[in-house]
């Protein structure tokens, strides 16, 4: 009915026809301009979506999740509602925060890693996050030893942090070596379209499953340190090094969350889809 009415109106009214044509051209230009600027189309933001879906679709979502203590890397499969209940935050507040920051650039580079070539994502993970872990772990281990030496007697929880961080550093070193030497070269070869030949692990799902289990272990160590330090709250007698250590540990945690998010939520699902 409505279509017929518009057709009749256009047939009768040349001016209306002209206005509609101009409007169509304007809308078309706006759409192609968005595409050419590489702007990501944001899907509706709802509490029924999983944390992973929101972390991938909404550019600033990982910042919001990080700030509110919502696990978006290892616990990304849970619906937002469930994750909010675990973190003891209101779903409405989270949805509002996601909506408000929807136009903000993505963390790190502003790049939409869900659309970028897979090989570039792998290179980014290694050059940014693996390099960061490798350079920060010895510095942090030395800093922890120094702070434990001075404050360990009055703050026994620092030794717990020292043990947890040392285990985390060892696990991460072995984990990143497996990614850099076996899994990532295979994924890059697979993404190049030149065929990847036989692998030593059968389907790519096998090493991915192993990497994700190791990510869970790393997430557990981060939680352990956060709990031992009461969310990195500085005691009254903390010195400058104590403050530097807690700030650096919180930054290390944030970087590792982002690192695991890129692998668990973007790289690995894309690799599995590519193999299929
Ligand atoms: Fe990694
Ligand atoms: Fe990893």
For residue 58, being part of any structural domain is answered with yes
Q: Tokens standing for 247? A: 């700030």
Give the structural domain span for 82: 51-100
Distance 224 CA to ligand 2 centre (A): 19
Least confident of 33-42, 96-105, 155-164, 222-231: 33-42
Distance 131 CA to ligand 1 centre (A): 10
Measure CA 52 to chain center: 9
Kindly state whether residues 94 and 219 are assigned to the same domain. Answer: no
Distance 254 CA to ligand 2 centre (A): 14
pLDDT at position 75: 81
Distance 211 CA to ligand 1 centre (A): 9
The Cα 209–Cα 199 span in angstroms is 16
Kindly state whether residues 181 and 247 are assigned to the same domain. Answer: yes
Confidence grade of residue 139 (pLDDT, cut at 50, 70, 90): very high
pLDDT value at 16 more than 50: no
pLDDT at position 178: 97
Exposure b/e, 206-236, CB count within 10 A at least 16 = b:
ebbeebeebbeebbebbebbbebbeebeeee
pLDDT in tens, 155-198: 999 999 999 999 999 999 999 999 999 999 999 999 987 766 66
For residue 76, being part of any structural domain is answered with yes
User: Of the spans 3-7, 52-56, 124-128, which averages the highest pLDDT?
Assistant: 124-128
pLDDT value at 54 more than 80: yes
For residue 12, being part of any structural domain is answered with no
Kindly state whether residues 264 and 145 are assigned to the same domain. Answer: yes
End position of a domain, from candidates 65, 100, 135: 100
pLDDT at position 104: 62
Q: What percent of the chain has pLDDT over 70?
A: 80
> How confident is the model over 244-259, as a mean pLDDT?
96
User: Which residues sit with Cβ closer than 5 angstroms to ligand 2, an ion?
Assistant: 211, 263
pLDDT value at 10 more than 50: no
Distance 111 CA to ligand 2 centre (A): 20
For residue 226, being part of any structural domain is answered with yes
pLDDT value at 21 more than 80: no
Nearest alpha-carbon partner for 196 in 269, 274, 267: 274
Distance 257 CA to ligand 1 centre (A): 11
Q: Identify the burial level of 269 via C-beta atoms within 10 angstroms of its C-beta, where 0-12 means exposed, 13-18 middle and 19 or more buried.
A: middle
Kindly state whether residues 199 and 264 are assigned to the same domain. Answer: yes
End position of a domain, from candidates 66, 100, 134: 100
Kindly state whether residues 96 and 137 are assigned to the same domain. Answer: no
For residue 66, being part of any structural domain is answered with yes
**Number of structural domains the chain divides into:** 2
Distance 184 CA to ligand 2 centre (A): 10
Kindly state whether residues 129 and 71 are assigned to the same domain. Answer: no
Distance 117 CA to ligand 2 centre (A): 19
Kindly state whether residues 76 and 176 are assigned to the same domain. Answer: no
pLDDT value at 227 more than 80: yes
Nearest alpha-carbon partner for 76 in 56, 103, 106: 56
> How confident is the model over 86-97, as a mean pLDDT?
89
For residue 68, being part of any structural domain is answered with yes
Kindly state whether residues 86 and 211 are assigned to the same domain. Answer: no
Kindly state whether residues 192 and 65 are assigned to the same domain. Answer: no
Distance 187 CA to ligand 2 centre (A): 13
pLDDT value at 24 more than 80: no
Distance 178 CA to ligand 1 centre (A): 9
Kindly state whether residues 124 and 160 are assigned to the same domain. Answer: yes
Q: CA separation (Å) from 156 to 104, 139, 151, 152, 229? A: 42, 21, 8, 5, 10
In which region does residue 196 sit, left (phi positive, over 0), alpha (psi from -120 to 50) or beta (all else)? alpha
Kindly state whether residues 218 and 261 are assigned to the same domain. Answer: yes
Kindly state whether residues 144 and 270 are assigned to the same domain. Answer: yes
| Averaged pLDDT score across all residues of the chain | 83
Distance 202 CA to ligand 1 centre (A): 21
For residue 18, being part of any structural domain is answered with no
For residue 29, being part of any structural domain is answered with no
pLDDT value at 36 more than 60: no
Distance 32 CA to ligand 1 centre (A): 35
pLDDT at position 5: 43
Straight-line distance from the first to the last Cα atom of the chain, in angstroms, rounded to the nearest whole number: 46
């Amino acid at each position: 009915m409505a279509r017929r009415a518009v057709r009749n109106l256009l047939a009768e009214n040349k001016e209306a026809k002209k206005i509609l044509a101009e409007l169509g051209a304007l809308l078309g230009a706006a759409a192609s301009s968005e595409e050419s600027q590489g702007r990501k189309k944001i899907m509706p933001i709802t509490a029924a979506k999983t944390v992973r879906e929101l972390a991938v679709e909404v550019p600033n979502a990982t910042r919001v999740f990080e700030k509110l203590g919502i696990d978006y890397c290892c616990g990304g499969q849970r619906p937002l509602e469930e994750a909010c209940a675990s973190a003891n935050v209101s779903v409405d507040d989270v949805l509002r925060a996601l909506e408000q920051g929807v136009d903000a650039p993505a963390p790190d580079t502003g790049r939409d890693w869900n659309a970028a070539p897979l090989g570039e994502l792998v290179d980014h993970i290694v050059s940014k996050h693996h390099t960061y872990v490798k350079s920060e772990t010895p510095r942090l281990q030395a800093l922890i030893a120094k702070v434990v030496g001075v404050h360990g007697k009055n703050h026994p929880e620092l030794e717990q942090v020292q043990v947890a961080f040392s285990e985390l550093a060892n696990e991460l070193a072995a984990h990143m070596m497996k990614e850099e030497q076996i899994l990532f070269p295979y994924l890059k070869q697979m993404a190049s379209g030149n065929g990847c030949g036989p692998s030593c692990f059968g389907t790519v799902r096998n090493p991915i499953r192993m990497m994700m289990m190791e990510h869970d272990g790393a997430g557990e160590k981060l939680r352990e340190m956060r709990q031992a330090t009461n969310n990195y709250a500085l005691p009254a007698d903390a010195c400058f090094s104590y403050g530097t250590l807690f700030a650096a540990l919180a930054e290390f945690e944030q970087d590792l969350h982002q690192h695991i998010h890129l692998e668990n939520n973007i790289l690995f699902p894309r690799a599995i889809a590519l193999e299929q």
